[in-house]
Amino acid sequence: MDIQLKKHITKVFLLNGLSVKADAMKYLLKILTENKNQLTIIDDIIKNIDKTTLKGNFIDQIIIEKSIKEINVASDSNLMEKEIFKVTNAFDIPSYTYDQNQKLFIKNEKANKSLHGDAKSKSELYRKRYQNVLQRIERHAFFATPSIPSQSLKMQFNSITPLSSLLGNSGSKYVLGTISQITEGNYFLEDLNTNVPLDLSNAIFEYGLITENSIVQVYGEFRDGAFVAEKIELPPIEPREISMHYLHGIDLFDGSNDTIGQSSSARSRQLREQYEKYEKEKEDNSILYLSDVYLDNPKVMEKLNVMFMGYSQIPPFAIIMMGNFTENPLLNGKQYQLKAYFDQLASIICKYPLIRENTRFVFVPGPTDPTGLHLNILPKFPIPNVFVKDFQLRVPHSTFTTNPCRIRYCTQEIVIFRDDLQNRMRRHSILEPSSPTNKDSDDEMDGQNSEIHISQHILGTIFSNSHLCNLPLDIRPVYWNYDHTLSLYPLPDVLVMGDKADSYIHQLEGTHCVSISSFSTNFSFIHYTPSDKNNNFSNLSDVTMDNFKDTSEDKEMSDVVDDKNSIDNDNNLHIDDNNNNNYNNNSEDGEDDGQDLNSSINSDQDDTDSKNIKSNLDFSLEDSDSEDDKETIDL
């Protein structure tokens, strides 16, 4: 039987131009002997294999396992529910290198994963950053080679000139390079082969924040041994849709490419359609973003309790909390205090069963959080399990991940990054933009305002360089072998940054950009609805637990009036604090003034009651399109 089955498997795969390796054959035999519909299963596996991602025609066990997993996810609704939200640790993101000859990104199967990189690792860091930008610019319309050669098109054609070709090449040229300071006080422009001195004295720069290590597009002329810059620009930003087209199905986001990636197989397309449908139908699903959640601050814990109370009847799909998780760094043996703080947070969460059972919690460490190493190097390790293992037992859907990290929700790719980036970039910028800059987040940023907000300069620099933090390595250290985890190519659907600077919401080249300030300062957070990709600011400054207590008492009195059915409009019923207390003492259920608020909120209530409770928590929400347009969402 096995021999005949082997012959049949080999024949079917050969008819599709594929050859089965020994490990794959052994795995297939094990699966097929347990099922009766062997022919159907083989056909489904072959149809689900994406041939565009294969390096050859050989099929191994890993490819078969991915194909079967996609089949199971597409057919099992419960399994699909588990797969719609995936958090990827930065150290699990695979490394890719751009091949200039094949015009493709190739996965580094034998990548160096050591935290202590060698000299080659550091040089590769800069080469990969440069190549990511260069391959993007070469196909941009401004620099693309004309497909129909003619004299008029040749006159309009622009190209990036290598720095090694500048000597003896007169006239103004466009060059692309990394700004560096090889000798003190003198700036140079570097590409993959050489470097030239850069004269910035008369350069015009209008948009962005340029620091050392920034990759820039410079227009000027090589004179007297230096490149005299006339105009400095950021490289053009490529929208996500165009980048995905040129990737040809390669998944650079988390390397999974197994459920909802850009695979072109029929099963992948079908699965993607199911996720898109789920994403649109679940209009109530929301994701909350918080930064600087000081668990050692009683006021912060009180506001967290208020927030959980507001969402107790309609729990958010996920809550992303970014550090720092303590107001002051825990040093000199005080790190274990963090365990007690997370235990207190778990106690608050457990008071709301719907949130505990349905909400996913993701914790991203901040710059000063204890993560096993005192050095603040990116990517930053997760908070050690010794501090949070009890929390995870009490709150099962909780994940402690790295900074930065990547989250995949249905079809959306979300990047989370916690760093005081705005302050660092402004402090170490070497060029001030000549265009008017609005540094006050409270000012208007509508289309009639000619000033560019400082946040837009920062986002322009990040997106044009396709990197979260292009600062010098001595200013913002990075593990050389894991610099690719900070890459922003292709652009994600949503970029969420935690920063002590003022909050903002922008949309740039189709990517929703959100920066959330310290929750411990103004008690604000972001409410994101994935179904319509809408971000709103929420604020708890004026909301307390008394709001819910008053609503609960009013609801109880309303229920008594409805049950008795003996009071009409002529009785002129007046309810004051004394009446409320008398009612609480004489309640049929034996409730008193000291009754726990959680028991009354989480009791069986109809839809009308839950709406009444939620209406009491009026969060001031600023619309994502304008800071002036505000709306109130009833939670």
Round to whole Å and give the CA distance between 602 and 410. 30
Half-sphere exposure of 632 (CA within 13 A, CB side): 8
Q: What is the 3-state secondary structure (H, E, C) of 347-408?
A: HHHHCCHHHHHHCEEEEECCCCCCCCCCCCCECECCCCHHHHHHHHHHCCCEEECCECEEEE
Question: In the block, which residue shows the tokens 């969060």?
Answer: 619
**Tokens representing 373?**
């190493």
Asked whether the predicted pLDDT for residue 626 surpasses 90, the reply is no
**pLDDT for residue 73:** 63
Asked whether the predicted pLDDT for residue 522 surpasses 60, the reply is yes
- Adjacent-strand bridge partners of 496: 416, 514
| Percent of all residues in the chain with a pLDDT value above 70, rounded to a whole number | 76
CA proximity to 631, closest of 555, 500, 536, 503: 536
Lowest mean pLDDT among 17-21, 151-155, 308-312: 151-155
The whole-chain average pLDDT of the chain stands at 80
Of 74-83, 264-273, 381-390, where does the model show the most confidence? Answer: 381-390
Summarize pLDDT for 359-378 with one digit per residue, the tens: 999 999 999 999 876 678 99
Round to whole Å and give the CA distance between 16 and 57. 10
Summarize pLDDT for 230-268 with one digit per residue, the tens: 999 999 999 999 999 898 778 898 876 544 444 455 556
**pLDDT for residue 257:** 55
**pLDDT for residue 433:** 85
332: region left, alpha or beta (phi > 0 left; psi from -120 to 50 alpha): left
Lowest mean pLDDT among 256-260, 288-292, 496-500: 256-260
List domains and CATH numbers for the chain.
2-75 (1.10.8.60), 547-616 (no CATH)
Give residue 168's pLDDT band: very low, low, confident or very high (50, 70, 90).
Answer: confident
Lowest mean pLDDT among 146-155, 367-376, 622-631: 622-631
Output the pTM of the full model: 0.78
213: region left, alpha or beta (phi > 0 left; psi from -120 to 50 alpha): left
Give residue 545's pLDDT band: very low, low, confident or very high (50, 70, 90).
Answer: confident
**pLDDT for residue 154:** 55
Round to whole Å and give the CA distance between 523 and 559. 34
C-alpha distances out from residue 313 to 308, 353, 611, Å: 9, 10, 9
**pLDDT for residue 389:** 95
**pLDDT for residue 620:** 39
Round to whole Å and give the CA distance between 517 and 281. 31
**Tokens representing 401?**
């991940």
